[in-house]
Structure 1
Amino acid sequence: MSAALKSLNDTEQLPVLLARQPIYTKNQDVVAYELLFRSQSGEVDRSITDDAATLAVITNSYASVCSGGEIRTLPCYLKLTDKVLMNANFPELPKEQFALELLGHTEVTPELLERLKQLARVGYRLVLADYDPSNPKFDPLLSIVHVLKLDILKLGLKELPDIIRKLKPHHLELLADKVENKEQFRQCLEMGFSLYQGYFLSMPVPVRGKKIVGNKVILLQLLAELQNPDTTAAALEQIAVNDAALTYKILRVVNSAAFSLRREIESLSHAITLLGLDQIRRWVTLFLASAEPGKPDELTRNMLVRGRMCELLAELMGRTNTLNYFVVGLLSKLDVLLDIEMAELMEQVPLQQEIKVALLTRTGGLGEVLQDVEVYEQGDFAALKKFVEPSFYEVAYRHSLLWAQTVMQAMSED
């Protein structure tokens, strides 16, 4: 049993499935995460608010990110029903860690309004989702909550300016929800939204004829050479010397806590001797996911999480060649990172055919695991194929978040 698999099996399982979705500023920096969750018992809210272990996991894993080489804790938006908010035993959640999100189907009563005012007075940040300007029940809430989520698809981009104008006297922080592409993001930016949520950063903006440039070329040359069964450490080092800075960064990551080595690796040939070609292939692929100018850190972070989670699920399923699952997950957003269509990208990238098929069609053994990881990320837990027990998906996801954080910290070091 691998160390990773033993760690997964030894990790305490939670009574709830959890994923997170980033909330961005207009500069595309992540300032908070929306928690997506579903309890296996049906008591969704209580599974989180009444369980100290779950709250600790959220704080230590789901709210933690590496930004600029530093580990930071970001607030999480926690969706709660009015029933839980009104409960006399509602726990004192850390105010700096959690923003309390009220759902649109909530029954707005005088008692609830008083309760929300009380929570606001003691320092909780309140969020209102599913706002419908035609429903007067929301009006009293506008003077209490701090953040108002506007579903831009449901409300309509053309109608938003008038809605925003009427909301102005309330001095709310407006969050554009369901922003699906860069054009919608641009329009919302012009309207003055301060927060953004949706998959707009996951959609490539292809530039026809664009080629891979910079150190990514060296990485692809290394990847191509690693496909050669007769390659040698000398042949790989001959390619790597063309970019000494990149080689240094790769060695820094390999030497980091992400790999937990007992002795320092001083050269690529030394790394190959100690780790083997498969592990060098892992780190070369990893650096293909490193941030490009103008691309947010969250994109690289998500690629790392996907790669690691695909690999861990493959291990749990007893699959062979689990490194290929890592590569598929990691490169599944390479088109977004480089703004090159995936089909065109696959013509430039030297990968095994089954990996290319998985990236293009989400089919085959590799593709079906990638697709399940994507489903989990979106919080669509009911749609999981359940290759393993559902609770193991959360454990694998949690491990992947922390692993990605460690790797990003190592990659950011000079």
Structure 2
Amino acid sequence: MNVYVARQPILNQSKETVAYELLFRDGLQNSMNYKINGYAATQKILSNSMVAFGIGKLASNKKVFVNFTEQNITNGDVELLPPEMVVIEILENTEPTAPLLAKCKELKDNGYTFALDDFVFEPKYQPFIDLADIVKIDFLITNTAEEREKIRYIIPQHIKLLAEKVETQQEYTQALSFGYELFQGYFFCKPVIISEKTARVDITAQFMLMREMNSAHVDINRIEDIIKNDLSLIHKLLKYINSPYIGIPNEVRNLRQAIALLGINGVRNWVNLVCIRDLSSEKPNELFVILLIRAKFCELAAENIPAKNSEKDTAFLIGMLSLSDVVLDQPIEKVIDELGLAPEIKAALLFRQNDLGQLLNMVTDYEHGDWEKVKNWCHENNFSEELLASLYNEVIHWATKMNEDINGSIQ
């Protein structure tokens, strides 16, 4: 049985990823299949996910937040996961019954951590508050500054507040000022647009390299000349290609050899990876991880569509550039024009009109756990749902290791 899972990052006050919430399904059809018992589905998902994915690898060895039904908790299914790994999320519609509270107290004594999901205060939930380590506040529901600030006075100070569905930098800053300690949402994916970014030498060089590498006719000698004139780029390229994960059998000792072994597509991927990493260095590292996942997921999906196999490198590029506006705090139209991208890449990034744009839509739908839309894409493209789930698992592992390698290569 395949396990479908997406993950959403949870960040701390320094915008560092400290955990992931895992969104499970046991099939894409489950988004509309109301005959499936929630308890049985969660039980099956937990046991299978431990085998199919390895939750530690899926969450990059960080904690995981997982929703549990009352029955999953009282029957002991939570204990399939070790206490140091999991945060038990109690859903907002769960009643604090005596059997549930007794089991929660037992789990708490055994070291488990509890979070209250989509919390709205009612006196009857006080026993849950007494157990909680974390309370999640939905910023779409609690949507005024007064309500968001009031929560901090209602909830005891030793309980951490997690602001979820935080969509803008302004909301993040507001939550921070009110004493929230954890954050979930896409606020780091919403750019603060400024009229003009001051051009620093490194940004100019990075853009020059990206423009040359992504042009219709790549001049490899020109690429070599640009890299030669920047000692840091030489260091990064040699460290990257000598990384065990890249898989080059012999140690590479010079720039020409590195370029020849990687080939044009390999150099293009390296350029886009390193430049995006450098240009987003002031952003949360999770932004770069999301771009890695998008790029590789786009590439592998395109590779497994016969009509799109030849466009897999373009698909990788589209995923990598999909948040260029956020990376550079510039309108994406301006970024795309400056990079001189081909018309079909522009159409995919700006309007999601062509097949590659729809592929990018599917990847972002997968990020959000919008399984019905993902299922529709699979149907329209005659794509195996089981294969897609397997590819996502592969992508998560690849992105985790690549993030380590790229960050290592730029230090």
Q: 1:224 to 1:153 in 2, by over 3 A?
A: closer
- Quick check: 2:49–2:55 contact (8 Å CA) kept in 1? no
Task: Write the distance in 2 (CA, Å) between the matches of 1:89 and 1:221.
Answer: 54
Task: Write the distance in 1 (CA, Å) between the matches of 2:245 and 2:69.
Answer: 39
Task: Answer yes or no: is 1:361 the counterpart of 2:351.
Answer: yes
Aligned to 1:126: 114
Q: CA deviation at 1:267?
A: 3.2
Mapping 1:120-159, distance limit 5 Å:
120-133=108-121, 135-157=122-144, 158-159=146-147
Task: Write the distance in 1 (CA, Å) between the matches of 2:218 and 2:15.
Answer: 41
Aligned to 1:34: 21
> Of 80, 100, 103, which aligns to 1:112?
100
> Of 292, 304, 313, which aligns to 1:323?
313
Q: CA deviation at 1:116?
A: 0.6
> Of 55, 58, 63, which aligns to 2:59?
63
> Of 322, 335, 342, which aligns to 1:345?
335
AA at the equivalent of 1:150: I
Aligned to 2:248: 261
Task: Answer yes or no: is 1:389 the counterpart of 2:384.
Answer: yes
Per-residue deviation, residues 229-272 of structure 1 (Å, max 9, x unmatched): 66544322112122121122023223323321112233332233
Q: 1:250 to 1:215 in 2, by over 3 A?
A: farther
AA at the equivalent of 2:394: H
TM-score normalised to structure 2 length: 0.89
> Of 403, 407, 410, which aligns to 1:412?
407
AA at the equivalent of 1:257: P
Mapping 1:270-309, distance limit 5 Å:
270-291=257-278, 292-309=280-297
Per-residue deviation, residues 292-341 of structure 1 (Å, max 9, x unmatched): 34211111111111101100000111212210000000110111111111
- Quick check: 2:215–2:341 contact (8 Å CA) kept in 1? no
Mapping 1:57-96, distance limit 5 Å:
57-60=54-57, 62-64=58-60, 73-87=61-75, 91-96=79-84
| More displaced stretch, 38-47 vs 311-320 | 38-47
- Quick check: 1:37–1:44 contact (8 Å CA) kept in 2? no
Aligned to 2:43: 46
Q: CA deviation at 1:359?
A: 1.0
AA at the equivalent of 1:397: Y
| More displaced stretch, 257-266 vs 374-383 | 257-266
- Quick check: 2:3–2:48 contact (8 Å CA) kept in 1? no
Task: Write the distance in 1 (CA, Å) between the matches of 2:82 and 2:210.
Answer: 46
Identity of aligned residues (%): 31
- Quick check: 2:318–2:349 contact (8 Å CA) kept in 1? yes
Mapping 1:220-239, distance limit 5 Å:
220-227=207-214, 231-239=218-226
AA at the equivalent of 1:364: N
Task: Answer yes or no: is 1:400 the counterpart of 2:401.
Answer: no
Aligned to 1:24: 11
Task: Write the distance in 1 (CA, Å) between the matches of 2:215 and 2:73.
Answer: 60
- Runs of 5+ unmatched residues, structure 2: 31-35
AA at the equivalent of 1:51: N
Q: 1:263 to 1:337 in 2, by over 3 A?
A: same
Q: CA deviation at 1:227?
A: 4.9
TM-score normalised to structure 1 length: 0.88
Aligned to 2:33: none
Q: CA deviation at 1:363?
A: 1.8
Q: Which has the higher contact order (CA 8 A, sep 6+)?
A: 1
SS at match of 2:137: strand
| More displaced stretch, 393-402 vs 191-200 | 393-402
> Of 318, 335, 344, which aligns to 2:325?
335
Paired positions, count: 390
- Quick check: 1:63–1:76 contact (8 Å CA) kept in 2? yes
Per-residue deviation, residues 78-124 of structure 1 (Å, max 9, x unmatched): 11110111115654421111111111111321111111111101100
- Quick check: 2:2–2:389 contact (8 Å CA) kept in 1? no
Task: Write the distance in 1 (CA, Å) between the matches of 2:167 and 2:201.
Answer: 29
- Runs of 5+ unmatched residues, structure 1: 1-13, 65-72
AA at the equivalent of 1:317: I
- Quick check: 1:257–1:406 contact (8 Å CA) kept in 2? no
SS at match of 1:223: helix
Select the structure that is richer in helix.
Answer: 2
| Alignment RMSD (CA, Å) | 2.0
AA at the equivalent of 2:94: T
SS at match of 2:140: helix
| More displaced stretch, 176-185 vs 378-387 | 378-387
Task: Write the distance in 1 (CA, Å) between the matches of 2:110 and 2:266.
Answer: 51
